[in-house]
Structures are given as C-alpha cells and as structure tokens.
Amino acid sequence: MFEPVIAPSGTLLGLLQRGRGDGTLHALAAPRQEALTALNQCVAGDPRQDWQVENRSLYYARLYLDLDGPLGEIEAHLFGVDDLVDEDDHRTGLALSVLGHLASYGRDDALMLLRRYAATGANWAWALDELALRDDDEGLRSLAAPVLTRFPATAQGDALLAAAVRDAYEPRPWCLWEEAPEAPETAARLKAARQQGSFDRWQRQLTSRGPQPGWGVQAVFDWAADGLRRGTPLHVPAARCLAAVATPEDRSAILAAAAGSSGEAARATALHHLVLAEPENPAVLDLIEAAGDEPAVAAYERMCGPAAVERARRWVHRPDALGTAAATLLAARGGAEDATLVLGALRNTVRGSGPDSTPLFALVDGAGRLRIGCAAPVLRHVYRETASSHLRGRVARALAATDPSFAAGFAVECLWDCEETTREVAAHHAETADARVAPRLRRLAADPAEEEDVQSAVRSRITPESAV
C-alpha cells in the first residue's frame, strides 16, 4: 500500500484530507463542483496516516449531505477494475463506511450501493458489517444467496465459511440466515460453520506453543529466543512470564542476562522484567544506557518512577532514541521545573522531524499538562500542518490549556472536525460570540450519529430548549 499524498494545508483538498473543520467550512463556501471533486478524491484515496485510529467517514458523509452530493464517483471507485485484483480492505473501507453513515441518514442510494457491493464486491464483509447496523431484516435476507455462493460446498469452502462467520464484526446477518426456516440446508450449514469457528478457537488454545506450567527462567529465555528466530519478538510477554516464575535465587541470572550474557532475546526480556521489578535500581538504568538499542529504549519507556525521571533530565539532550524517550517521559511525568526541557524537545522535534513525527503525541500532551504558554506558537503550527487528525485533536486539548486565543480561534472550526474527541473539546471551549457556534452546537445536539460524549459537552453549553 502506498502512502497517501497530502496536499498543502492551505488548499481545500489539503484541509479535507486532514479532516479539519475548516475543510467543511471552506467546502461549503467554494463552488459546489470544486468541493465535490475534492471530497470524492478524499473518499477514493483514503488520506489517513493510520486508518485504525483516525476518523473520516462521518466527516465526509456529513459533507456529502450538506452538498447534496451524488454517489457516482464512490460507485465508480467501488466497482472499478481494481476491485477485481486488489483485495486490500483499506482500498474501499473508507468509501463503505461513508456509505454506511449516509444510509443511516436516510440516503437510499447509499443503502442500495452497499447491498450491491456486499453481493458482488471484493470487500463484501465490510459492506455486510455496515448493512448489519443499518439495513432491515428483509434487505439482509436478500443477501444470503449471493454471499453464501462465495463458499462452495467443499472442505475448503466450509473452512472459509467458518472463518468468515467467526471473524464477522457484526453477527446479525449470519444469525438471520441461520434462523431462516425457508432454507433449512443453508441454516444447517451456517450452524456447522459457527460451531467449527468455536472449535478452532478452542483448538488453538490447546495447541499453543506458549508458556507451560513448570517453566523456569531459562525456559522463558529460550521461548523468547525462539520467537526472535521466527521473526516474532516476544520479550514483552516473556517478561510477564518471568515475573511469574522468577525467584530471588534467579536474580543474578536475570541481571547477567540483562547485561547480554545470554543473547539478544534474553537481554530484552530481562530488561523489560527489571524495569518493573526494580524500578528504582540505578543499575537497571545503567544497563539501559549501556545498551541504548531499541529493546532497551522500549524497556525504559515502561518506567515512570522518580529515578527514571531524574535520569531523563540527564538524557533528554541526547540526539538518539534514548533522548527522545527521556523527553517523552518528562512530558508525561515531569514537574513544572521540566517545562523548559519539554518545550525544547517539542521545538526540536518539529524542526527536525516535521509535524507528523510520533514523539509529538507525548510532547504535545506534556505541553498541555504543564501549561507551557510559550508552546502555543509551535502547537498552532502543528495543528495547521499535521496530516494526523489524531495528533491534531491532542494539539487542540493542549491549546485549550495554553493559548488564550483558542476559544475564539481554532475551537470554532474544531466543532466541524472529523474526530469526536476534538469536537468535544470544541464544544466545551468555543466562544459563543461567534455567530456560527450556537447553530452548530444545536445541530450536534440533534444529530443521532453524534457521539454521546460530544452531545454531553454540548448540553453543558446550551439549554435543553435550545437543543430542540
């Protein structure tokens, strides 16, 4: 999968790709066809950095409603030739989620597209999950035949069917089909598939190659080493096992392993164990500093005690991953005396790695937690430029704590943001002197698709009568 190409933040396309509230406001003010072109480009080319944590579907669906947008471009995207060769869920997932929201708003054309794609499309399971939440029983029953024909009555087909039933996010369609009295053969086959899925889960538990009763410290180290050889690092779960099996007599062996005497996997496992078992032991921090590699840094990131914070003040100026981990620890656990160090790390990270780097999540939170007023300019820069709506939401919370202009500025546009947590922050802080705020609050309060936390924040700002 290719990384999405994000347009500049000052363009309509760039605003919509980022999911910013200003994207909706600019789209509604732009020529309708220009806005629809940009909107269709976003839905067909998912712009999210991480589709598992970033929201766009409700944001785009609401804009389709406001623009009374046709769904021809979404249809062309779903049923194009790429659907015959590209089975990646990510290619069509956003479009299907947008259709799901539109269907819940009463767009019958969206519902028909979902039914058609569930019957014939490559990512049919996603479409079926969307329909499970929005379609009626009759509509779902009409899909039984086209969906089940995907699974021939062979051993392999039955195995695939069992996996599909087991992994379905929404079980409602499968239950309807299993309970249908007019198709007893289908019902029997689905019942067998459901039972097979349950058996598969039970069998995996029985055949686990994981920790066994009676294991000792060396067995845990061997298990971690075996995982590393297979390309699956197991030092974090192995460290939890180590905590269960280790005795005081094993301490010297664990310290030796942490120093590297038993190999890379054992060292990583021992370090992850020691940072929780002996968090105030300076020798553990010395071992982390001596190693300085990824497992050692990951172990340090699990520490939160006074000794780790004190060491972070010494390491924060390092130009490596350990220095970055020290900065994020100070952002999360440091005191007011660490505000200058956190601010310096925030500025250096933005300057050196740009507005989308992973350490910014913790540093932004730290700027808000410590109420570093001098951080407001760099926070505003990250807010404008980041392509991550998840990060932008955290920036909004930090700005609410550090920037006196937030309520009359960014908080207003945040009422239209793609992330519900950002809309919640805006609902608490947006200045009602702006003529756009009160009508938007009323619309959010009346929208059945809006999250409960957002509506609770809205209700704290307006009276029940004005929310009607």
Question: What's the average model confidence in pLDDT over 395-400?
Answer: 98
Residue 213: what pLDDT? 63
What tens digit of pLDDT does each residue of 121-131 get? 999 999 999 99
- With a cut of 60, say whether residue 448 has pLDDT above it: yes
Among residues of the chain, what percentage have pLDDT more than 70? 93
pLDDT tens string 66-83:
999 999 999 999 999 988
The DSSP code for 468 is -
For residue 466, is pLDDT > 80?
Answer: no
Higher per-residue pLDDT: 158 or 211: 158
Distance (Å) of CA 157 to CA 84, 143, 330, 375, 465: 20, 18, 54, 58, 57
pLDDT score recorded for residue 468: 40
Place of tokens 């980041």: 386
Output the average pLDDT for the chain.
91
Q: How many CB atoms lie within 10 A of CB 168?
A: 18
Six-digit token pair at 80?
């194009």
Question: What average pLDDT score do residues 401-410 get?
Answer: 95
What does the DSSP assignment read for 120-164?
Answer: H-TTHHHHHHHHHHHS-HHHHHTTHHHHHTTS-SSHHHHHHHHHH
Do 187 and 178 form a contact (C-beta atoms < 8 A)?
yes
Backbone angles phi, psi at 83, to 5 degrees: -65, -20
pLDDT at site 89: 84
pLDDT at 204 over 90: no
Q: Alpha-carbon torsion 200, 203, 208, 211, what sign?
A: positive
**Global pTM?**
0.89
Instruction: Inform me whether the pLDDT recorded for 4 exceeds 80.
Output: no
Could you read off the pLDDT of 337-389 as tens digits, one per residue?
Answer: 999 999 999 999 999 999 999 999 999 999 999 999 999 999 999 999 999 99
Tell me the pLDDT tens digit for each residue of 30-60. 999 999 999 999 999 999 988 889 999 999 9
pLDDT band, very low/low/confident/very high, at 467 (cuts 50, 70, 90): very low
Q: Calculate mean pLDDT across residues 196-217.
A: 60
pLDDT computed for residue 364 by the predictor: 98
- pLDDT tens profile 79-115: 999 888 887 888 999 999 999 999 999 999 999 999 9
Residue 201 pLDDT: 55
pLDDT of 392 above 90: yes
Torsion of CA 221, 222, 225, 227, to 10 degrees: -110
Q: SS3 breakdown of the chain: % helix, strand, coil, rounded to 5?
A: 70, 0, 30
Share of the chain above pLDDT 90, in %: 70
Crossing angle (nearest 10°) for helices 89-104 and 124-134: 20
Q: Is 23 helix (H, G, I), strand (E, B) or coil?
A: helix
Amino acid 2: pLDDT = 56
Tell me what the mean pLDDT of segment 431-455 comes to: 94
Tell me whether residue 244 is exposed, middle or buried, using C-beta atoms within 10 angstroms of its C-beta: 0 to 12, 13 to 18, 19 or more. Answer: exposed
What pLDDT does residue 362 have?
97
Mean pLDDT of the 458-462 span: 87
- Check residue 39 and give its pLDDT: 98
Q: Look up residue 415 and give its amino acid.
A: L
Over range 164-177, report the average pLDDT: 88
- pLDDT at residue 161, as a whole number: 86
Which is it for the CA torsion 93, 95, 98, 104, positive or negative? negative
